[in-house]
């Protein structure tokens, strides 16, 4: 998907909401377990309930790989369903891949060509030649882990490298890679106090922001410090929306949660 189409959807829906499809069979309503493919049935209901309030969906691949072939089949059906019925939605494979060049090329092919996601998350630790294979695909986007919201982010990301934190050095270096205009970045909502300095490094890039809601990130702080002239944010909520209820009304409750977040976001969108 071209970035301009994503921006148009943000303006049309007055939303920067990304819904995370992190399906745990122990948490979904029990009646869905009677279906042949409970993961897909859950996703389909969530998508139909929330699509008018969000601009992106983000399946976390681990939640599908954990169920083997059945999980992978459910992921395939989910992305096919989104691409067929809601092609305006930006799709993110939250896979956190990244390896030596020929391996990254296969990862990129799997998510961009075979599954036809718009984007995939990648880990930058191995450097340029592990990321550029993803960037070689036209109209596809590579979302680099920048500053994450987990507690262990303190272990490495805030180490000093000359005058910069290590995560700042990664952000700067990534801008020198081939086709870097196709990069987006993961920045955790719980690190919103760093968004102003991050925007000085990445004034034009889209940022994927997990951690609003269940992880305690502030939507107000994220929007105030992270938005740019093209909005520039995809704000993810997973558990807070998809597990709003474990009963038969799960889709309706998810819709209400998504609508509430969209209304908050609308206050920041012209």
pLDDT in tens, 67-81: 999 999 999 999 999
The active-site residue, picked from 44, 70, 96, 109, is 96
CATH assignment of 3-266? Answer: 3.20.20.70
Distance CA 228, CA 226 (A): 7
Q: 34-38, 59-63, 97-101: lowest mean pLDDT where? A: 97-101
Distance CA 110, CA 122 (A): 13
Query: Is the pLDDT reported for residue 198 higher than 70?
Result: yes
pLDDT, position 216: 65
Other C-beta atoms within 10 Å of 17: how many? 27
> 182: which DSSP letter?
G
Query: Is the pLDDT reported for residue 255 higher than 90?
Result: yes
Question: Closest by alpha carbon to 58, among 20, 22, 9?
Answer: 20
Confidence at 86, pLDDT banded by 50, 70, 90: very high
pTM assigned to the model: 0.97
58 catalytic per annotation: no
pLDDT, position 241: 96
Query: Is the pLDDT reported for residue 217 higher than 80?
Result: no
Domain ranges in the chain are 3-266
Distance CA 215, CA 6 (A): 26
Confidence at 121, pLDDT banded by 50, 70, 90: very high
Span 188-210, average pLDDT: 94
């Amino acid at each position: 998907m071209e970035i301009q189409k994503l921006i148009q959807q943000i303006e049309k829906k007055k939303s920067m909401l990304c819904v995370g499809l992190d399906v745990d069979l122990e948490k979904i309503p029990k009646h869905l377990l009677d279906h042949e493919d409970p993961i897909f049935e859950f996703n389909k209901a969530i998508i139909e309930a929330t699509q008018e309030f969000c601009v992106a969906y983000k399946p976390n691949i681990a939640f599908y790989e954990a169920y083997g072939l059945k999980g992978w089949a459910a992921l395939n059906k989910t992305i096919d369903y989104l691409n067929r019925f809601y092609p305006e939605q930006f799709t993110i494979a939250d896979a956190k891949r990244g390896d030596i060049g020929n391996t990254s090329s296969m990862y990129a092919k799997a998510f961009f060509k075979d599954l036809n996601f718009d984007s995939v998350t990648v880990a930058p630790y191995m450097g340029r030649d592990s990321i550029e294979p993803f960037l070689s695909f036209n109209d596809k986007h590579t979302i680099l882990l920048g500053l994450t919201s987990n507690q262990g982010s303190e272990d490495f990301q805030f180490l000093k490298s000359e005058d910069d934190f290590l995560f700042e050095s990664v952000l700067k270096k990534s801008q020198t890679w081939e086709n870097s205009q196709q990069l987006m970045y993961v920045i955790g909502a719980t690190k919103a106090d760093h968004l102003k300095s991050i925007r000085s490094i990445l004034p034009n890039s889209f940022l994927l922001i997990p951690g609003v809601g269940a992880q305690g990130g502030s939507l107000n702080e994220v929007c105030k410090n992270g938005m740019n002239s093209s909005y520039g944010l995809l704000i993810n909520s997973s558990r807070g929306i998809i597990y709003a209820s474990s009963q038969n009304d799960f889709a309706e409750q998810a819709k209400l949660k998504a609508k509430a977040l969209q209304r908050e976001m609308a206050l920041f969108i012209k």
